Amino acid sequence: MAVTPRTGPLPGRPESYWMDTSDPTSYPPLAQDIEVDVAVVGGGIAGLSTAWEVARTGRTVAVLEADRIAAGVTGYTTAKLSSLHTLVYERLRRTRGPEAAHLYARSQQEAVEHVAAVCAEIGADCQLERAPAYTYTTRADGTDELRAEADAAREAGLPAQYTEVTDLPFAVAGAVRVEDQAQFHPRAYLLALAEDLRTRGGVIHERTRVTGLREGSPCRVTAESGHTVTAKAVVVATHYPVFDRALLFARLSANRELVVAAPLAPGQDPGGMYITQEGGKRSVRTAPYGDDGGRLLIVTGEGFTPGTGDAAAGFRALDAWMREHFDVAETAYRWAAQDNSVTDGVPMVGPFHPGARHTYVATGFGGWGMSGGVMAGSLLARLIGGQKSPWADLYDPRRLLSTVREAPALLSQQAEVAKHFVGDRLRTHVDSVDEIPAGSGAVVRIEGRRCAVHRDESGALHAVSARCTHLGCLVAFNEAETTWECPCHGSRFGTDGEVLQGPATSPLERRELPGS
């Protein structure tokens, strides 16, 4: 077994392969008040898919993105397009019935096929490849669970089969296999979609953080700059809703997963997409790499709640696992992805809250945002157009909480939030800024206030408020990614306090250190 190094440089360059191999974007910020039929807040796969589907109906649409489109969660995904979502079908069959499992399977598989059709329609060169998807186990005591999942997936309408044979370079005890799934370059796909959206009259505004929403007829969203967009309908597709009038945060939990990628030796491609929940989760796929027909192995795992995990140790463990099991060259990339899960395991896509008439939301894809985001775009476009999708009720955010299937997860999640909200205030991470080494950060009590202090590699100190601007939890430092993270709801900030990821919309306030 490979030994995980505890010190030294982290493996690979700290960049997403998808970001590194696609062109940057430079759509203009919102510079004046505008009026459209539909305003979409968020420029990831859910937001851009929704905007494109809406534009196809002849409606005017504006996409408002706080940073750059397809550069948030979507730019750092593993980019599997699959309807096999680990062990979802047996759980759905058991908790919500066979019809719910069938609708889930149909909606997700239609999303896979929709991407293929859209690629052909707009001529997107996004490395779309068909491949089987597997959920596997290496433990003999895990095979019964996979047999049940294969049976539930077949009953739901997928061409699923149980097998004990894969093309992985190590033995498995059993696996669920579904044929004709897909993998692609997510940014290449979405950048092509964005350009086609513009030809259909859509507008995209980057570096336009939305901070206000007034519901009504019409609705109005307000950007940080003060400019407004008036719209007949508004879609909030910001990964974690930046407005939470339905208190969806109580049913959402954030999870951050690490990724390493390395060139694979010729002839070693395992020929599919693989995932297991064992060992902190391991997800495996390959992608075209270089001009000579090479393949890049992409491995994901070592998940943790933002603000709680040791990302550096996770990167090293993931890299060691990859090297133990695959014949790879020097690690080329490392990055991290973040997603939210709903306590009942089904994404929330539809009307924003029980009283909503013209506002919609898409969130909680649980690590399966590629098919989920495309599905959301089609579903929301139908709802905005006055039509109802066959699976609208399945994903409806207004669905009632089931005390049987959801309450245990909800209570556990909220107990964890309460632990951080209260417990983190009872301690100070270090007693003095002098204890913070170069390249690190910690929460320090200074003149009665908790400050998040980072010491950069040159020794200079950077201090901001330690209170997350979402709901006030204390942030923690992620040394491997040089960010401040909120363990309650997953907001992430730069060392200067800038918002990197919501639900927070306001930066951490700057703090002056004594003597500075």
Between 291 and 406, the higher pLDDT residue: 291
Tokens of 342: 């709903």
Mean pLDDT of the chain: 90
Q: State pLDDT tens for residues 292-325.
A: 889 999 999 998 888 888 999 999 999 999 999 9
Q: How sure is the predictor about 149, in pLDDT bands with cuts at 50, 70 and 90?
A: very high
Tokens of 160: 């699923």
Quickly count: other Cβ atoms within 10 Å of residue 424's Cβ: 20
User: How far, rounded to the nearest angstrom, does the alpha carbon of residue 122 sit from its chain's CA centroid?
Assistant: 25
Choose among 481, 486, 445: nearest CA to 463. Answer: 445
CA angle 410, 415, 418 (to 5 degrees): 125
Q: State pLDDT tens for residues 184-201.
A: 999 999 999 999 999 999
Model confidence at 130: pLDDT above 50: yes
**What confidence score (pLDDT) does residue 403 get?**
45
Model confidence at 151: pLDDT above 90: yes
**Quick check: bond before 218 cis, omega within 30?**
yes
Model confidence at 142: pLDDT above 90: yes
User: Where does residue 428 fall: left (phi above 0), alpha (psi -120 to 50 degrees), or beta otherwise?
Assistant: beta
**What confidence score (pLDDT) does residue 3 get?**
45
**What confidence score (pLDDT) does residue 426 get?**
40
Query: Length of the chain, please?
Result: 516
CA distances from 215 to 33, 153, 230, 355, 429 (A): 17, 40, 10, 10, 42
Residue 329 near residue 265 (C-beta atoms within 8 A): yes
**What confidence score (pLDDT) does residue 506 get?**
87
Distance CA 57, CA 73 (A): 27
Distance CA 56, CA 279 (A): 44
φ and ψ of 49, to 5 deg? -65, -45
**What confidence score (pLDDT) does residue 516 get?**
60
**What confidence score (pLDDT) does residue 306 get?**
87
Give the residue-averaged pLDDT of 328-349. 94
**What confidence score (pLDDT) does residue 421 get?**
42
Sheet holding 499-501, edge to edge: 476-478, 483-485, 492-493, 499-501
**What confidence score (pLDDT) does residue 45 get?**
97
**What confidence score (pLDDT) does residue 427 get?**
45
Model confidence at 420: pLDDT above 50: no
Q: Residues near 4 by Cβ (< 8 Å), separated by ≥ 6?
A: 313, 316, 317, 320
Maximum Cα interatomic distance, the chain, rounded to a whole number of Å: 68
Tokens of 183: 């993998």
Model confidence at 134: pLDDT above 90: yes
**What confidence score (pLDDT) does residue 138 get?**
97
Tokens of 58: 């002849």
Model confidence at 423: pLDDT above 50: no
Q: How sure is the predictor about 152, in pLDDT bands with cuts at 50, 70 and 90?
A: very high
Give the residue-averaged pLDDT of 329-354. 94
Angle between the N-to-C axes of helices 88-95 and 143-155, in degrees from 0 to 180, rounded to the nearest 10: 70
Residue 307 near residue 478 (C-beta atoms within 8 A): yes
Between 399 and 394, the higher pLDDT residue: 394
Residue 248 DSSP symbol? G
Helix/strand number for the chain, H first, E second? 10, 25
**40 CB-contact burial (10 Å; exposed 0-12 / middle 13-18 / buried 19+):** buried
**What confidence score (pLDDT) does residue 217 get?**
95
**What confidence score (pLDDT) does residue 18 get?**
98
Angle between the N-to-C axes of helices 186-199 and 98-122, in degrees from 0 to 180, rounded to the nearest 10: 70
pTM (global) more than 0.85: yes
Q: How sure is the predictor about 280, in pLDDT bands with cuts at 50, 70 and 90?
A: confident
Q: Are strands 61-64 and 34-41 parallel, antiparallel or unpaired?
A: parallel
Tokens of 489: 């709801």
What percent of the chain lies above the pLDDT cut of 90?
Answer: 69
Choose among 502, 11, 433, 30: nearest CA to 228. Answer: 30
Buried b (16+ CB within 10 A) or exposed e, 328-353: beebbbbbbbbbbbbbbbbbbbbbbb
Distance CA 134, CA 285 (A): 10
Give the residue-averaged pLDDT of 387-415. 71
Q: Residues near 286 by Cβ (< 8 Å), separated by ≥ 6?
A: 264, 269, 270, 295, 296, 297, 298
Domain annotation for the chain: domains and CATH numbers: 424-501 (2.102.10.10)
Q: Residues near 423 by Cβ (< 8 Å), separated by ≥ 6?
A: none
**What confidence score (pLDDT) does residue 239 get?**
84
Q: Residues near 84 by Cβ (< 8 Å), separated by ≥ 6?
A: 133, 134, 135, 153, 158, 160, 176, 178, 181
Give the residue-averaged pLDDT of 111-139. 97
Distance CA 267, CA 71 (A): 32
What percent of the chain lies above the pLDDT cut of 70?
Answer: 91
Distance CA 138, CA 112 (A): 28
**What confidence score (pLDDT) does residue 219 get?**
97
What do you get for the CA distance between the two ends of the chain, in Å? 50
**What confidence score (pLDDT) does residue 472 get?**
86
Helices (H), ranges, 123-226: 143-155, 186-199
Model confidence at 72: pLDDT above 70: yes
Q: How sure is the predictor about 424, in pLDDT bands with cuts at 50, 70 and 90?
A: very low
φ and ψ of 75, to 5 deg? -75, -5
Tokens of 426: 């009872």
Model confidence at 414: pLDDT above 60: no
Q: How sure is the predictor about 515, in pLDDT bands with cuts at 50, 70 and 90?
A: low
Give the residue-averaged pLDDT of 158-175. 97
Beta bridge partners of 175: 136, 163
Residue 302 near residue 315 (C-beta atoms within 8 A): yes
